[in-house]
């Protein structure tokens, strides 16, 4: 009987899990986030932005200046061009700090008109003193317009059983496959680890950036250090020395992309060319085009590396920011994309990369749950004389 009570209490406490809020960006060609705001989000919850149409961003701002990026290290998804067949997603994870106060976002697209000034804004946990309706009115910036009442905020998520949303379809795959974890810059080395993998359609490749300022940029076998036309590109992912935060970016293969070798490199050239130092990565290298030859081509290349946004940028949300997240691009990304801020969102991977157990905010949540469970069990054991 005592054991049953203890087990019930433990399972009840341990079953606490994060919620996942899904937000559509540009649905039905509208300049809107749907839902436009969410309430009741707590530490560990995730917000998954799915870009449906046009070319939008999710950029952090402030209540008083809705259409201006809060600061140079504020969260910014970068531009995400989307259409019916390519709908990238971007995910942020709240921790105790970001869940404790309202968070404000906007789309920074200005062509052909300012999307923010059209009311394309989004909020997490607005309050009675700082409402979403007023935030949107501030964005529209029309004191004579009193018709903006704002849509009600979503307070519930579809499910509360996941600590990490399913990996999005970066290259239009609809199947669920294996997750491959790739460490970028482990132990401050100029490496991808592992440097080469075999993957199938539906598989997801998670790049976790651990140090320095690297990128995962698609190239070709013959030109290892140059962005391939239409290639995907993580942008630079800066991680400060001794930081406990990391960056993560992922792609998912479809049948076409999994049918032939895929080649990647780090586009960093400051202070030295990382690609020329052999910092390259391959998916599905084969006997005719081996990883070893690809790496040799890179190290023997005389062409300067090209492809990422800036070797010194600190854009995005920044290394020490409280968000965790991941970005996924469609096959039309890379060179065909407009200039955009690098995806810079902090998240860590785990031994089981499909559930992202060590993400800072989720890790804090799990740690506290385990501690409470342990305290309760110890107390019950003492009270029952076990």
Domains 20-141 and 179-300 share a fold: yes
Tokens describing residue 92 = 């942020």
User: Per-residue pLDDT for 217 more than 60?
Assistant: yes
Tokens describing residue 6 = 């203890």
- Tell me the Ramachandran region of residue 9: left when phi exceeds 0, alpha when psi lies from -120 to 50, beta otherwise: alpha
Residue that is written with structure tokens 């691009």 in the block: 329
Write down the pLDDT at residue 155.
63
Measuring CA to CA, how many Å separate 346 from each of 251, 273, 275, 279, 324?
16, 25, 24, 22, 4
CATH superfamily of 179-300: Cupredoxins -  blue copper proteins (2.60.40.420)
**CB distance 278 to 295 below 8 Å:** yes
Query: Each residue of 161-188: pLDDT tens digit?
Result: 333 333 333 333 333 578 898 999 998 9
User: Per-residue pLDDT for 287 more than 80?
Assistant: yes
What is the C-alpha to C-alpha distance for residues 343 and 330, in angstroms, rounded to an integer? 14
- 237: confidence class by pLDDT, cuts 50, 70, 90: confident
Query: Each residue of 340-381: pLDDT tens digit?
Result: 322 222 233 222 222 222 223 333 323 333 333 444 444 544
Element (H, E) at 247: strand 247-252
Fold for the domain defined by 20-141: Immunoglobulin-like (2.60.40)
* Chain mean pLDDT for the chain: 72
Using CB atoms within 10 Å of the CB of residue 312, give its burial: 0 to 12 exposed, 13 to 18 middle, 19+ buried: exposed
Buried b (16+ CB within 10 A) or exposed e, 76-89: bbbbbbbeeebbbb
Is pTM, for the whole model, over 0.85? no
Query: Each residue of 57-101: pLDDT tens digit?
Result: 999 999 999 999 998 778 888 888 888 888 888 888 888 889 999
Q: Which of the residue ranges 21-25, 118-122, 129-133, 359-363 would you say has the lowest mean pLDDT?
A: 359-363
Residue 168: DSSP 8-state: P
Query: Each residue of 1-36: pLDDT tens digit?
Result: 443 434 344 334 333 467 899 999 999 999 999 999
Residue ranges covered by each domain of the chain: 20-141, 179-300
**CB distance 58 to 77 below 8 Å:** yes
């Amino acid at each position: 009987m005592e054991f049953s009570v203890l087990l019930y209490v433990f399972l009840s406490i341990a079953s606490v899990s994060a919620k996942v809020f899904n937000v559509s960006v540009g649905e039905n060609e509208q300049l809107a986030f749907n839902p436009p705001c969410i309430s009741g989000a707590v530490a560990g919850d995730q917000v998954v932005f799915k870009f449906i149409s046009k070319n939008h961003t999710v950029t952090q701002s402030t209540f008083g200046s809705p259409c201006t990026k809060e600061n140079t290290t504020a969260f910014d998804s970068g531009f995400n061009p989307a259409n019916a067949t390519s709908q990238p997603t971007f995910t942020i994870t709240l921790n105790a700090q970001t869940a404790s106060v309202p968070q404000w976002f906007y789309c920074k697209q200005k062509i052909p008109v300012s999307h923010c000034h059209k009311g394309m804004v989004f909020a997490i946990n607005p309050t009675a003193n700082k409402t979403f309706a007023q935030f949107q009115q501030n964005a529209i910036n029309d004191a004579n317009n009193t018709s903006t009442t704002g849509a009600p905020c979503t307070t519930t998520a579809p499910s509360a059983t996941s600590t990490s949303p399913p990996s999005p379809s970066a290259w239009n795959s609809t199947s669920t496959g294996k997750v491959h974890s790739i460490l970028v810059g482990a132990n401050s080395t100029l490496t991808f680890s592992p440097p080469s993998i075999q993957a199938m359609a539906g598989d997801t490749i998670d790049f976790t950036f651990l140090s320095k300022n690297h990128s995962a940029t698609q190239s070709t076998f013959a030109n290892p250090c140059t962005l391939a036309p239409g290639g995907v590109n993580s942008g630079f992912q800066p991680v400060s020395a001794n930081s406990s935060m990391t960056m993560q970016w992922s792609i998912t293969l479809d049948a076409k992309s999994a049918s032939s070798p895929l080649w990647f490199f780090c586009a960093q050239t400051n202070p030295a060319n990382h690609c020329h130092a052999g910092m390259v990565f391959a998916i599905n290298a084969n006997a005719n085009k081996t990883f070893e030859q690809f790496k040799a081509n890179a190290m023997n290349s005389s062409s300067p590396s090209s492809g990422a946004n800036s070797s010194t940028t600190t854009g995005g949300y920044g290394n020490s920011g409280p968000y965790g997240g991941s970005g996924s691009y469609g096959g039309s990304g890379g060179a065909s994309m407009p200039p955009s801020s690098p995806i810079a969102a902090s998240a860590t991977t785990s031994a089981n990369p499909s559930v992202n157990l060590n993400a800072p905010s989720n890790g804090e949540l799990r740690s506290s749950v385990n501690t409470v469970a342990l305290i309760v069990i110890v107390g019950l054991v003492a009270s029952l004389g076990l």
